[in-house]
């Protein structure tokens, strides 16, 4: 009560402020016009505890409030109470200015119209930069990534045959580790391509043979190649599993899960009764899953950028799908209404009209089904125009995102070198050198 009486019964009616050593006197009437701000709330404080929650210190004798803030920034805050507007100058850091007005309890809506556009433009650009640096999908390693790699290397030191297991692990999992690792990665990709080639050959009737009973069977040479590929995939997976520093994290890796799924169908098929030929379809599924083993994203910056772009453009992709779905639903009904009575037309049902609207909106236009009537052609014209607009708008945003992330991808080596130099004071130099040796 004493502090409230002393504060609210000042003889001069002013607030004495000390901001970073700069003393200012502000009329209570000016501060009282904005009671939601930090200075405005000081006028309603009744206890010492409530006062110290809003300022860093308070001198009762001098009736002076102390704030450990930037005096340069406070000039803009003080000007706000006189003019009722915040002004943002170009030489100020947008983040520092935003944090300062947030501390003083002043909302961004009070920024003057002459400065509002520049402020929000620079703030949005800064936030985008922060999101890019914090992106978990980029190839630029963070300190956490570097420490995680160091932890894995330390784990090998406490394992049986740790030195040899570490060498094998780096050989299989890091193509940039050495020349032999690059050769192994190239060989693995080559065998994946051979496996895909066997799938294509098996689909050609010319390569099939007839057994003694006259039934079609696969070419023995192709079968041998396929079995060799499966044995290679199995051996590679088991070796990587045995030498992994942490088996639980190894099994949680999506790429390793794909490897496991690609080889399981082959062994499950062996357990199925071949006499019933019930394993053929399952075998085909296993062959299709093997297509997923192509891990070119590890070696192609463009593919990594494409994945990051799609991840960060899910709003635009969803908007594109909504546009297409609405267009397909609308134009398919219109087309069916004007074409279902035309004898020569093939658009005699809604599902067929869905197919036609899909290939028309996406500007593919196979030409297998087309409208015959004049009214149907008019509907098709509007459908094509709407398809161009619906596809072009989101694609532009997605393309801009791709360009942005691709530029970042090319700057990854420079950022890696910079981060290693920055964190040299906190972590061992060998960690950064090891990460550069093992690759991104």
Q: Is the pLDDT of residue 227 over 60?
A: yes
Compute the mean pLDDT over every residue in the chain, rounded to the nearest whole number: 78
- Of 360, 311, 317, 354, the closest CA to residue 336 belongs to 354
Token pair of 156 as six digits: 């090998």
What is the average per-residue pLDDT within 295-308? Answer: 64
160-174, 209-223, 283-297, range with greatest mean pLDDT: 160-174
Secondary structure letter of residue 56 according to DSSP = S
Residue that wins the pLDDT comparison between 305 and 41? 41
Question: How many other β-carbons are positioned within 10 Å of the β-carbon of residue 388?
Answer: 13
The tens digit of pLDDT for each residue in 303-334 reads 667 777 788 788 888 888 898 999 999 999 99
Q: According to CATH, what is the number of the domain 2-133?
A: 3.30.710.10
Percent of the chain with pLDDT over 70: 76
Residue that wins the pLDDT comparison between 175 and 248? 248
Q: Is the pLDDT of residue 5 over 70?
A: no
Q: How many CA atoms lie within 13 A of 77 on its CB side?
A: 29
pLDDT recorded at residue 415: 54
What is the average per-residue pLDDT within 297-305? Answer: 62
Spell out the residues 6+ positions from residue 8 whose beta carbon is closer than 8 angstroms to its own: 43
Long-range contact pairs involving 261-270 (C-beta distance under 8 Å, separation at least 24): 261/289, 261/292, 262/233, 262/286, 262/289, 262/290, 262/292, 262/293, 263/230, 263/233, 263/234, 263/237, 265/289, 266/230
C-beta separation of 138 from 132 below 8 A: yes
pLDDT recorded at residue 55: 92
Classify 348 as helix, strand or coil.
coil
What is the average per-residue pLDDT within 55-60? Answer: 89
The tens digit of pLDDT for each residue in 250-271 reads 888 877 887 788 788 777 777 7
pLDDT recorded at residue 353: 93
Render 187-203 in DSSP notation, one character per residue: HHHHHHHHHHHHHHHHT
C-beta separation of 410 from 402 below 8 A: no
Q: Is the pLDDT of residue 380 over 90?
A: yes
The tens digit of pLDDT for each residue in 118-160 reads 888 888 887 766 655 555 444 444 455 556 666 777 777 777 7
Q: Is the dihedral of CA 188, 191, 193, 199 positive or negative?
A: negative
pLDDT recorded at residue 434: 45
Residue that wins the pLDDT comparison between 379 and 412? 379
What is the average per-residue pLDDT within 76-101? Answer: 89
Residue that wins the pLDDT comparison between 108 and 126? 108
Percent of the chain with pLDDT over 90: 20
C-beta separation of 382 from 331 below 8 A: yes
pLDDT recorded at residue 137: 43
Q: Would you kindly state where each structural domain of the chain is located, as residue ranges?
A: 2-133
- Of 256, 260, 253, 280, the closest CA to residue 269 belongs to 280
pLDDT recorded at residue 61: 84
The tens digit of pLDDT for each residue in 206-222 reads 777 776 676 667 778 88
Measured between alpha carbons, how far is 49 from 3 in angstroms, rounded to an integer? 10
Token pair of 25 as six digits: 């006197």
Strands 64-67 and 14-19: parallel
Token pair of 300 as six digits: 């192609």
Spell out the residues 6+ positions from residue 307 whose beta carbon is closer than 8 angstroms to its own: 137, 297
Question: How many other β-carbons are positioned within 10 Å of the β-carbon of residue 213?
Answer: 6
Classify 204 as helix, strand or coil.
coil
pLDDT recorded at residue 2: 43
């Amino acid at each position: 009560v004493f502090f409230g009486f002393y504060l609210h019964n000042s003889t001069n009616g002013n607030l004495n402020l000390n901001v970073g050593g700069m003393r200012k006197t502000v009329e209570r009437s000016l501060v009282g016009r904005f009671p939601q701000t930090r200075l405005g709330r000081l006028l309603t404080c009744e206890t010492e505890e409530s006062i110290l929650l809003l300022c860093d210190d308070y001198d009762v004798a001098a009736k002076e409030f102390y704030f450990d803030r930037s005096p340069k920034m406070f000039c803009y805050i003080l000007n706000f109470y006189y003019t009722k507007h915040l002004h943002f100058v170009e030489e100020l850091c947008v983040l520092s200015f935003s944090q300062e007005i947030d501390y003083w309890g002043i909302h961004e809506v009070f920024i003057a119209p002459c400065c509002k556009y520049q402020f929000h433009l620079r703030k949005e650009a800064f936030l985008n930069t922060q999101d890019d640096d914090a992106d978990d999908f980029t190839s630029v390693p963070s300190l956490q990534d570097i420490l995680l790699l160091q932890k894995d290397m330390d784990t090998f030191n406490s394992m049986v045959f740790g030195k040899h297991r570490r060498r094998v692990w780096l050989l299989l999992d890091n193509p940039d580790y050495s020349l032999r690792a690059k050769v192994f990665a190239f060989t693995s990709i080559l065998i994946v391509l051979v496996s895909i080639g066997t799938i294509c050959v098996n689909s050609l009737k010319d390569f099939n043979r007839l057994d003694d009973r006259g039934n079609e069977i696969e070419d023995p040479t192709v079968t041998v190649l396929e079995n060799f590929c499966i044995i290679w995939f199995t051996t590679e997976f088991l070796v990587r599993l045995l030498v992994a520093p942490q088996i639980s994290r190894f099994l949680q890796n999506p790429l390793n899960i794909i490897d496991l799924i690609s080889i399981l169908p082959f062994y499950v098929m062996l357990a199925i009764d071949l006499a019933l030929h019930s394993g053929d379809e399952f075998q085909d599924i296993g062959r299709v899953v093997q297509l997923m083993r192509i891990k070119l994203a590890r070696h192609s910056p463009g593919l990594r950028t494409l994945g990051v772009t799609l991840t960060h453009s899910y709003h635009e992709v969803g908007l594109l799908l909504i546009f297409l779905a609405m267009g397909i639903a609308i134009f398919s009904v219109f087309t069916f209404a004007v074409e279902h009575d035309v004898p020569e037309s093939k658009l005699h049902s809604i599902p067929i009209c869905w197919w036609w609207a899909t290939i028309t909106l996406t500007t593919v236009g196979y030409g297998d089904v087309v409208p015959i009537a004049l009214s149907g052609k008019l509907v098709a014209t509007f459908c094509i125009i709407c398809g161009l607009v619906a596809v072009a708008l989101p694609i532009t945003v997605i393309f801009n995102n791709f360009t942005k992330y691709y530029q970042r991808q090319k700057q990854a080596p420079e950022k890696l070198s910079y981060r290693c130099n920055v964190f040299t004071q906190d972590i061992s130099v060998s960690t950064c050198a090891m990460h550069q040796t093992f690759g991104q």
